[in-house]
Amino acid sequence: MNEGEQTGLATMRDCWITGGATFDLAPTAWKTIAGGASPDEQERRLLAIAAQALDVALRPAAPKTLKRRPLLPKLALPMLPERLRPLLRAALKHAIDARRKTRVVTLVASRGFVLHPMDWMPAASDQNSPDVYAPWIDWQASVDGERRAPQERLTAENWDEFYPAARRIVLADMRHSEPASARMLIEAKASGEPAEVRLALVELMRFGLGAEDAPFLKSLSADRSGKVRELADRLLARLGEYGRSNDGGPDDPAAELAAFISEGKSGFIRRRNIYTPAKLKSPAQEPRRAELFEICNLGDLAARFDTTESEFLGAWQFGADNNADILIARMVAASGSDAAVTHMADALVADGGKPALFALHLTPRLDGRRKRTLVRLILKQANYLGAINLAEGLDAGWVAWDDLSNGSALSALRSAVAGNDEAMRRGADDILETIGFLATATTAVKLIDEVVAAGMPPAAPSLGLLRLNAALAEHQPRTDT
Amino acid sequence: MEFDLKTIEALAPDQASLSAASKLTKRSNWPRLEKNEQQALIWGECQGSGSNPYRVVVDTGDHGYKCTCPSRKFPCKHTLALMWIAATAPASFAAAESTPEWVNDWLGRRRRTTPPPAQSTPGAAAKSIDEATRTDESAAVEDLAAVERREAAQRKRAEDTRQAVSAALDELDQWIADQLRLGLSGFVAASSDRCRRIAARLVDMKATALAGRIDEIPSRLMALRSEERPDAAIRELGKLVLLAKAWRSAPDDPELKRLISTSETREQVLANPDARQVESFWEVLGEKIESRRDGLVSHSTWLLDLKSTTPQFAVLLDYFPASAGRRSNAFAPGDRFDARLVFYPSRKPLRALVAERMGEVMSGAWPDFTFDAAKDPLATHASHQDAAPWTTDCPLMLPAGAVLVDDRGTGWWQAADDPQGIALPIAGAVNQTLLGLDLTATAALWDGARLDLLAAQSGFGRLDLS
């Protein structure tokens, strides 16, 4: 299309937009084609020519401000084989929240694969995905594509060249390998960051937390953010450093919380202290008690009763008040010393029964061995099988067939699947999804067979993760333990 | 009364409608049947399953009609039954001096046209009032005379359809001229109502496929930015002009008949010796599922020929009522299979049927296609427009490139080796991850304004983008 035609087309277009005849405005060559007809027909012919000119001769003009993002980095593990992607997408689709999706991702990573970026992509704020995805989290964080996380080591000098998410990943890694260096970096740079970022940085101190971190954490008692001060207090409490801010007076939260707990004696020959949740006088006391459990430290509470953390927990009467039991378990997870956490977990698991389930709230602080013991206990008892979904930070792919078949878990699942109780079936769906993450590939295959034989449709979405688990073994048979 | 059974037969959309109408011709179904001979109108109320009867009115002069039932078939069985009663038992209608309010409303809304004397569709051979009323016992062996009569009737119906469509295109021409006279800004603003009205007229006059296309113009315009809509309106209306002209010059051309009135049946396409057949390995590039204003859902499955050295595409097209819910898909994006496809005859054959499916094919990368030497990503589109300028969507295989975004967040595809060259805007929101991927080849549909991405190959393997 020549310049004259382009000008003519533009004029005709303006005329048509407002309405009217354009024949006189048309380029000469177009007039020749359109001429010799009724006025309406002339306009239609010109319209046809204009349509083709717009369609073929004119090309879209791209703005000069088109932005290109850096290429997505390749990850250290191979991509999930193409033929497994439909299974993966089905499992991801069935995983209703980010936590469950992370489990799918973690299972795949445990078998030595990463996901296709169009199937799943971690968020810039993701803190739970396997480490292999760190380059993608960095990529997500570099929103404008101009700055990139440098490959060199994080230092105080290049601190600003890292995005918060990238820094978080690097610092978390450093806290595992060289905690002192990471602490010094956080100490040097955190004060210049906004409260939200500061909180996230201090939260990293939980990795490799040790006595040498105490001075820095104590210095945070003057932090501008209340949340940062509370977090630092809890971390200090885990180190046995508590009671600094409590005056023991009537306004002391630990004293207020202690009033919710009755101290008594037990045993005829060897009298020993016991601690029982006091009966609440009004429903309004319930939220206040919950709030106090959240803001107080275990050490401060134990000190109110002149006892140690472990002794206090040993004397706590589990089973008297379900809510209080959950609250104290969360308190221990947040502020208990490592010794208190393991003591409580071991004692609960050893006792078995329903109280053992309170140990689930401790899973973020438990080592892999204790987590596995806890899960095996739940599978064996099967009375509270659904509680398995509460466990956090579990490793993927280790539940063996014996773990399932020796207890009552398998028969409970079979009955739920075969029965007519809709709530039981939904519960079974959730458990199957969790076991899909925990199971070895062999277990996954056998479990699918069992529940299908019990009446579950073979294509049921709740079997998605089990199917993916089983299929992954075809590529990585040696990972099956 | 100007009805005869042949006319009703020609008007009926299918044999099932005739059969259903025959069961409604009992007088007891019609608590009210009236006529006004001065105005050439008959109307009635037919008791259906609901509490209120359906109201049906028919203009005996031009065979226009209206029924309050929710049927998607036009004319519906109630309309056909009313006509049928008028043809076979005209005495059933009581003479009325005035017309009821609802008939007046309809008269006020409709536009009169040159009455098509009788209408039929090419596929009407399969239906007849005889068939609708015939019992199994009455099925007689056809003799030569009957065959001759039927063929003559077919010819007559084809001619009638041609005349009806011709009249429809006259109306369309006038309507387009009206839009230009009134201004395209007004057309863009009121495109929904205006297109609906002309589409309804075209359905009345057997230009069903064209009506469906016009019905979709508003949504195509609304998918664009407001400043782009006038140009898009020029393109859409200009292509209609070209299509109408092409049909007038070759009304028997199968492609044009398909685009204007009705499509061939599957059997007709498979039996057509001129239909192109391709046996190859095919990959499902992607699907497009769109709800249309006429209550149908169109389901397009785009395929790529994996044995061809140049990018060759096929589309499997299916329509079903939206009320039927989502159908399970025969193919999933990424599926590969060995099959013989038969293409609907056209200048640039795309629509196809799977005539024979031989089995599955292993997944893998796409072939190394030869791209246009001039590096024009729209060369295929230009070639399609040269051959069939009325077409809208054209499948493209784009060479190595990347997706970028502008200030407004719109995605653009740009060739990797030509960052200063042409960039094509992408329809809809772009997945942010796509911005970080290198695309070694991309399959997409180009509608003259936007790329609708189907699938791509990248350093991370195949990408499903539809």
Which stretch of A102-106, A230-234, B244-248 has the lowest confidence by average pLDDT?
A230-234
Contact assignment for B234 to A74 by CB distance below 8 Å: no
Distance in Å, alpha carbon of B441 to nearest chain A alpha carbon: 16
Q: Which residue has the higher pLDDT, A296 or A149?
A: A296
**What ipTM was reported for this prediction?**
0.72
- Using the Cβ of B176 and the Cβ atoms of chain A, whether some distance falls under 8 Å is answered with yes
Statement: residue A146 has pLDDT above 70? no
Q: What is the DSSP string of A422-464?
A: HHHHHHHHHHHHHHHHHB-HHHHHHHHHHHHHTT--TT-GGGH
Across the interface, of A20, A43, A69, the residue whose CB is closest to B435 is A69
- Using the Cβ of B190 and the Cβ atoms of chain A, whether some distance falls under 8 Å is answered with no
- Of B273, B192, B188, nearest to B233 by C-alpha is B188
Query: Tell me: the pLDDT tens digits for B408-458?
Result: 888 999 988 776 678 899 998 899 899 999 999 999 999 988 999 999 999
The Cβ of residue A173 has, within 10 Å, a number of other Cβ atoms equal to 16
Contact assignment for A47 to B434 by CB distance below 8 Å: no
Which stretches within A239-367 are classed as H helix?
253-258, 285-295, 298-304, 309-315, 322-335, 338-351
- Of B273, B235, B278, nearest to B254 by C-alpha is B273
Which stretch of A14-28, A460-474, B42-56, B321-335 has the lowest confidence by average pLDDT?
B321-335
3-state helix, strand, coil in chain A (%, to 5): 65, 5, 35
The structure tokens 């008028």 sit at: B86
* Per-residue pLDDT, B351: 95
Distance in Å, alpha carbon of A72 to nearest chain B alpha carbon: 5
* Per-residue pLDDT, B129: 61
Question: Do residues B372 and A43 lie in contact, with contact meaning Cβ atoms separated by under 8 Å?
Answer: no
- Residue of chain A whose alpha carbon sits nearest to that of B434: A118
- Residue of chain A whose alpha carbon sits nearest to that of B393: A55
* Per-residue pLDDT, A480: 39
Q: Name all contacts of A163-166 with Cβ < 8 Å and 24+ positions apart.
A: A163/A124, A163/A138, A164/A193, A164/A197, A164/A200, A165/A124, A165/A125, A165/A126, A165/A137, A165/A138, A165/A140, A165/A141, A166/A137, A166/A138, A166/A141
- B118 confidence band (pLDDT: 50, 70, 90): very low
Query: Tell me: the pLDDT tens digits for B358-372?
Result: 888 888 889 988 776
Distance in Å, alpha carbon of B455 to nearest chain A alpha carbon: 12
- Residue of chain B whose alpha carbon sits nearest to that of A17: B184
Contact assignment for A117 to B437 by CB distance below 8 Å: yes
* Per-residue pLDDT, B250: 94
- Residue of chain A whose alpha carbon sits nearest to that of B465: A118
d(CA B62, CA B50): 30
Question: Do residues B329 and B287 lie in contact, with contact meaning Cβ atoms separated by under 8 Å?
Answer: yes
Give chain A's contact residues with B (Cβ, < 8 Å). 13, 16-22, 40-41, 43-45, 47-52, 54-56, 59-60, 62-63, 65-72, 74, 79, 82-83, 85-86, 116-118, 121, 139
d(CA A6, CA A30): 12
Please state the separation of Cα A27 from the chain's center in Å: 64
Distance in Å, alpha carbon of A186 to nearest chain B alpha carbon: 31
Statement: residue A110 has pLDDT above 90? yes
Strand partners, B320: B297
Q: Which residues of A touch B402 (CB under 8 A)?
A: 68
- Using the Cβ of B251 and the Cβ atoms of chain A, whether some distance falls under 8 Å is answered with no
- Of A302, A308, A300, A305, nearest to A246 by C-alpha is A300
> Which of A11, A13, A16 would best serve as a mutation to test chain B binding (most B beta carbons within 10 A)?
A16
Question: Do residues B341 and B286 lie in contact, with contact meaning Cβ atoms separated by under 8 Å?
Answer: no
Query: Tell me: the pLDDT tens digits for A252-308?
Result: 888 889 999 998 887 776 678 889 999 888 988 999 999 999 888 898 899 889 898
d(CA B297, CA B317): 10
Q: Which residue has the higher pLDDT, B119 or B453?
A: B453
Q: Which residues of B touch A51 (CB under 8 A)?
A: 234-239, 241-242, 389
Between strands B336-343 and B352-360, the pairing is antiparallel
Query: Tell me: the pLDDT tens digits for B50-59?
Result: 778 899 999 8
* Per-residue pLDDT, B113: 45
Q: Considering all CA atoms of chain B, what is the largest pairwise distance in Å, rounded to the nearest integer?
A: 79
The structure tokens 């008690």 sit at: A289
- Using the Cβ of B295 and the Cβ atoms of chain A, whether some distance falls under 8 Å is answered with no
Contact assignment for B434 to A40 by CB distance below 8 Å: no
- B132 confidence band (pLDDT: 50, 70, 90): low
Q: Which residue has the higher pLDDT, A147 or B226?
A: B226
Contact assignment for B422 to A79 by CB distance below 8 Å: no
Across the interface, of A54, A60, A82, the residue whose CB is closest to B461 is A82
Across the interface, of A13, A52, A85, the residue whose CB is closest to B230 is A13
d(CA B402, CA A317): 64
Contact assignment for A44 to B185 by CB distance below 8 Å: no
> Which of A55, A126, A137 would best serve as a mutation to test chain B binding (most B beta carbons within 10 A)?
A55
Question: Do residues A173 and A187 lie in contact, with contact meaning Cβ atoms separated by under 8 Å?
Answer: no
Across the interface, of A52, A74, A85, the residue whose CB is closest to B238 is A52
Contact assignment for A121 to B433 by CB distance below 8 Å: yes
Q: Which residues of A touch B283 (CB under 8 A)?
A: none
Question: Do residues A385 and A379 lie in contact, with contact meaning Cβ atoms separated by under 8 Å?
Answer: yes
Q: Cα separations (Å) of B312 from B82, B270, B278, B281, B445? A: 50, 20, 11, 11, 13
Q: Which residue has the higher pLDDT, B240 or A94?
A: B240
Contact assignment for B235 to A56 by CB distance below 8 Å: no
* Per-residue pLDDT, A353: 78
Q: Which residue has the higher pLDDT, A268 or A394?
A: A394
* Per-residue pLDDT, B114: 42
Q: Which residues of A touch B407 (CB under 8 A)?
A: 63, 65
Calculate mean pLDDT across residues B280-286.
95
Mean pLDDT score of chain A: 86
The tokens of A126 are what? 């993701």
* Per-residue pLDDT, B198: 93
Query: Tell me: the pLDDT tens digits for A208-219?
Result: 888 899 999 999
Residues 326-355 of B with CB under 8 A from A: 332, 334
Q: Which residues of B touch A146 (CB under 8 A)?
A: none
Contact assignment for A69 to B436 by CB distance below 8 Å: yes
Contact assignment for A59 to B176 by CB distance below 8 Å: no
Statement: residue B84 has pLDDT above 90? no
- For chain A, what's the residue count? 481
Percent of chain A with pLDDT over 70: 94
Distance in Å, alpha carbon of B153 to nearest chain A alpha carbon: 35
Query: Tell me: the pLDDT tens digits for A450-470?
Result: 998 888 877 788 888 999 999
Mean pLDDT score of chain B: 85
The structure tokens 């296309």 sit at: B213
Contact assignment for B385 to A18 by CB distance below 8 Å: no
Please state the pTM of the whole predicted model: 0.70
Across the interface, of B186, B414, B463, the residue whose CB is closest to A118 is B463
> Which of B194, B383, B460 would best serve as a mutation to test chain A binding (most A beta carbons within 10 A)?
B460
- Of A213, A449, A238, nearest to A331 by C-alpha is A238
Question: Do residues B396 and B446 lie in contact, with contact meaning Cβ atoms separated by under 8 Å?
Answer: yes
Contact assignment for B437 to A71 by CB distance below 8 Å: yes
Distance in Å, alpha carbon of B34 to nearest chain A alpha carbon: 42
* Per-residue pLDDT, B285: 95
The tokens of A131 are what? 């480490």
d(CA B164, CA B116): 6
Question: Do residues A238 and A338 lie in contact, with contact meaning Cβ atoms separated by under 8 Å?
Answer: yes
Query: Tell me: the pLDDT tens digits for A408-434?
Result: 889 999 999 888 888 888 889 999 999
Contact assignment for B173 to A40 by CB distance below 8 Å: yes
d(CA A168, CA A181): 14
Which stretches within B89-228 are classed as H helix?
101-109, 129-133, 144-182, 184-189, 191-204, 208-215, 217-222
Statement: residue B373 has pLDDT above 80? no
CB pairs under 8 A between A and B: 146
Statement: residue B133 has pLDDT above 90? no
Cis peptide before A122 (omega within 30 of 0): no
* Per-residue pLDDT, B249: 94
With 0-12 / 13-18 / 19 or more C-beta atoms within 10 angstroms meaning exposed / middle / buried, residue B127 is buried
- A138 confidence band (pLDDT: 50, 70, 90): confident
Query: Tell me: the pLDDT tens digits for A156-209?
Result: 888 887 777 678 778 888 888 888 999 999 999 888 888 888 998 998 998 888
Q: Cα separations (Å) of A382 from A357, A371, A412, A445? A: 11, 16, 7, 21
Q: Which residue has the higher pLDDT, B360 or B257?
A: B257
Q: Cα separations (Å) of B120 from A319, B159, B168? A: 83, 8, 13
Q: Which residue has the higher pLDDT, B8 or B382?
A: B382
Across the interface, of A19, A83, A117, the residue whose CB is closest to B183 is A19
Burial readout A315-354 (b: 16 or more C-beta within 10 A, e: otherwise): bbbbeebeebbbbbbbbbbbbbbeebbbbbbebbbeeeeb
- Residue of chain B whose alpha carbon sits nearest to that of A140: B433
* Per-residue pLDDT, B231: 94
The structure tokens 């200009």 sit at: B238
- B125 confidence band (pLDDT: 50, 70, 90): very low
Across the interface, of B186, B438, B449, the residue whose CB is closest to A71 is B438
